[in-house]
Amino acid sequence: MEMVELGRTGLTVSRLGLGLASLGGMFAAVPEQQAIATIDRAWELGIRLFDTAPVYGYGLSERRAGLALRGRPRSAFILCTKVGRLIEPGGPDIQPIWAEPPRGVGPRLDYSYAAVMRSFEESLARMGIDRIDVLHIHDPELDFTKASTSALKALTELRGRGTIGAVSLGVNHADVAARFLRSVGPATLDCILLAGRYTLLDQSAGDDLLPLCRDLGVVVLAAGVFQGGVLADSSKGAPHGYGVVPPALATRIEGLRGICRRYAVPPLAAAAQFPLAHPVVPAVVVGARTPAEIAEVAAMLDQEIPGEFWWALEREGLITARAEIG
């Protein structure tokens, strides 16, 4: 698998990363051996970028990441996790999406300097790995003031000591990331993990955030590129986060599927490849629950897609960033 530089960080990542939320039991339980086998298969495929978080299964995802990765050569992979929530007994900020969280513990939102430093140390302990390469401030909009001051101070100190390689955000909203960048000034953030906002179905990050990142030398890891799978299956009750897909989105999906049929391009292959054409996006991060799923996604990056396909999407108004498509 192709390896690329992660902006100015000095780190090198694979073009495809594995997000470990699903392996922490997001929406459905995943047996531990299956989770480890999925990470092992990703490694066999050349994936060297792994992203987790304390809140993913309330520590379960991080623990499984450690079980699968800590025997590997440490310089051979990039490990990312997040700060902003502590996992502790009676933690009140419960999220119902986790199918198998450990009993008696929960997340507590806390972006203070002390909490961030504690979260970092606890992540290292859960994983049994001595270094985290990219540390994201998770969902900074939940306490923007502390996230952009106290939490950022902690991460900047860790980077300055060489304890982490890059300071980042983990966000679902392009406007939040742009606001954060403008409020903290240049050369503060190295990268942003952005979920669901630079995809075939939602290109809102292309209006403001991506040009801003290009100006400031910040790179973006594009996550959520399949929008929960709605591009593949938009039926009611499918596991894509919509009870009923909004009519405007359904129309867009049908338009995309029609062009995909015309050019014999699998929709999910187009979804995986689209963000990578932008100069500030070095990699996409996808989730998987099984070894077969991550193998299928990896194959999508090798799918040949004709240039005429992208032009057709632009003509139909389905993508607006034609200048960024090779």
Q: Which of 39, 66, 51, 53 is nearest to 126 (CA)?
A: 66
pLDDT of 250 reads 86
Q: Which helix (H) or strand (E) holds 249?
A: helix 247-263
CA–CA–CA angle 52, 56, 59 (5° rounding): 90
Q: Which of 64, 60, 56 is nearest to 85 (CA)?
A: 56
Residues 6+ apart with CB under 8 A from 244: 236
Q: How far is CA 196 from CA 39, 155, 183, in A?
A: 23, 25, 23
Computed over its alpha carbons, how large is the radius of gyration of the chain? Answer: 19
pLDDT of 322 reads 44
pLDDT of 320 reads 80
How many CA atoms within 13 Å lie on the side-chain side of 249?
18
Is residue 139 within 8 Å of 106, Cβ to Cβ?
Answer: no
Residues 195 and 16: their CA atoms lie apart, in Å, by 14
Which sequence positions are flagged as catalytic?
51, 56, 82
**Encoded tokens for 314:** 């632009």
β-strand partners of 83: 137
Q: pTM for this structure? A: 0.95
**Encoded tokens for 40:** 């092992």
- pLDDT tens for each residue of the chain, 326 residues long: 999 999 999 999 999 999 999 999 999 999 999 999 999 999 999 999 999 999 999 999 999 999 999 999 999 999 999 999 999 999 999 999 999 999 999 999 999 999 999 999 999 999 999 999 999 999 999 999 999 999 999 999 999 999 999 999 999 999 999 999 999 988 899 999 999 999 999 999 999 999 999 999 999 999 999 987 777 766 665 555 677 778 888 888 999 999 999 999 999 999 999 999 999 999 999 999 999 999 999 999 999 999 999 999 999 999 985 445 44
Tell me which residue has tokens 């090779």: 326
Residue 225 sits at φ, ψ, to 5 deg, of: -70, -15
Q: How far is CA 32 from CA 7, 66, 97, 129, in A?
A: 34, 12, 18, 18
pLDDT of 239 reads 57
Is residue 137 within 8 Å of 65, Cβ to Cβ?
Answer: no
pLDDT of 234 reads 60
